[in-house]
């Protein structure tokens, strides 16, 4: 018996990185999983390897596609038990004052408004005892230079989590995780490099007491814990998955 037997789970950004690890983790614990991603081919590839996987093409910027995602889950399963809002946009490494308004707005639409859209359309179909878990960032609590708009958007995601938790309690728990830097596709999108140069990687790791960056399983395990009955009395929590990065 798995912790999530027959639970109906949506994972946005589920085709790669944290999302893929999370989708696979829930499935291994008995869940039915919708892998929602703008990359439909990738979503289908992941979903095809899950015992009860479903793929859905999701543009997180589109209110209509978020609504359609919820409707698809209702059509296939009759509702949703766990919503994981993982999809988002990484930092761009620009000084805030050098960004144009469109790029700044795009960051907020992807990292904040997307959570609003997903929750707005899924919550009406989530029974008592359901759970929402979003992926924020440790940068939302401990900002760093050149990441200001990204960190601000993730800080907003943390606050959105806490506010939504008060609105939906006691029926639906709402939490988020705050990962530290991880060698996923975010590196490529944020820096244009598939692998960080050794000196950059070493500098990042030097600031993490546990001596390494996060791996997708670290984040997936934290998400599944917050969604599980083991965390039944936890809501409004922003859980640092950062190897101690935020200490001090």
pLDDT tier at 182, thresholds 50, 70, 90: confident
Res. 104: pLDDT tops 70: yes
Question: 248: helix, coil or strand?
Answer: coil
Structure letter (DSSP) for residue 245: T
**In terms of pTM, does the model score above 0.75?**
yes
Q: Which of 77, 121, 150, 186 is catalytic?
A: 150
Burial class (CB in 10 A: 0-12, 13-18, 19+), 47: buried
Classified by CATH at the fold level, domain 8-241 comes out as Rossmann fold (3.40.50)
What are the boundaries of each domain within the chain? 8-241
* Residues linked to residue 109 through DSSP beta bridges, in sequence order: none
pLDDT of residue 184: 65
pLDDT of residue 195: 66
- Whole-angstrom distance, CA of residue 122 vs CA of residue 132: 10
pLDDT of residue 185: 59
Exposure string for 150-164, b = 16+ CB within 10 A, e = fewer? bbbbbbbbbebbeeb
pLDDT of residue 192: 55
Between residues 66 and 206, the one the model is more confident about: 66
pLDDT of residue 183: 76
121 is catalytic: no
pLDDT of residue 191: 53
pLDDT tier at 84, thresholds 50, 70, 90: very high
Residues 197, 245, 227, 64, CA torsion sign: negative
Q: What is the mean pLDDT of the chain?
A: 92
């Amino acid at each position: 018996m798995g912790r999530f037997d027959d639970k109906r789970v949506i994972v946005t950004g589920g085709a790669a990185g944290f999302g893929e690890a999370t989708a696979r983790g829930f499935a291994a614990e008995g869940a039915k999983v919708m892998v929602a991603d703008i990359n439909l081919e990738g979503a289908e590839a992941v979903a095809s390897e899950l015992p009860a996987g479903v793929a859905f093409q999701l543009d997180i910027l589109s209110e209509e596609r978020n609504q359609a995602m919820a409707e698809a889950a209702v059509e296939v399963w009759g509702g949703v038990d766990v919503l994981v809002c993982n999809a988002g946009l990484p930092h761009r490494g620009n000084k805030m004052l050098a960004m144009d308004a469109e790029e700044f707005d795009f960051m907020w639409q992807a990292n904040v408004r997307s959570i609003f859209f997903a929750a707005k359309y899924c919550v009406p179909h989530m029974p008592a005892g359901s759970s929402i878990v979003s992926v924020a960032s440790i940068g939302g609590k401990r900002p760093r230079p050149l990441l200001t708009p990204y960190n601000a958007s993730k800080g907003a995601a943390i606050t959105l989590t806490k506010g939504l938790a008060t609105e939906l309690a006691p029926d639906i728990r709402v939490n988020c995780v705050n990962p530290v830097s991880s060698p996923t596709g975010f590196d490529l999108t944020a820096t244009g490099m598939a692998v960080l140069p050794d000196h950059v990687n070493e500098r990042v790791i030097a600031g993490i007491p546990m001596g390494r960056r996060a791996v997708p399983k670290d984040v997936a395990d934290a998400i599944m814990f917050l969604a599980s009955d083991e965390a039944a009395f936890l809501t409004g929590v922003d859980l640092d998955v950062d190897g101690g990065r935020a200490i001090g």
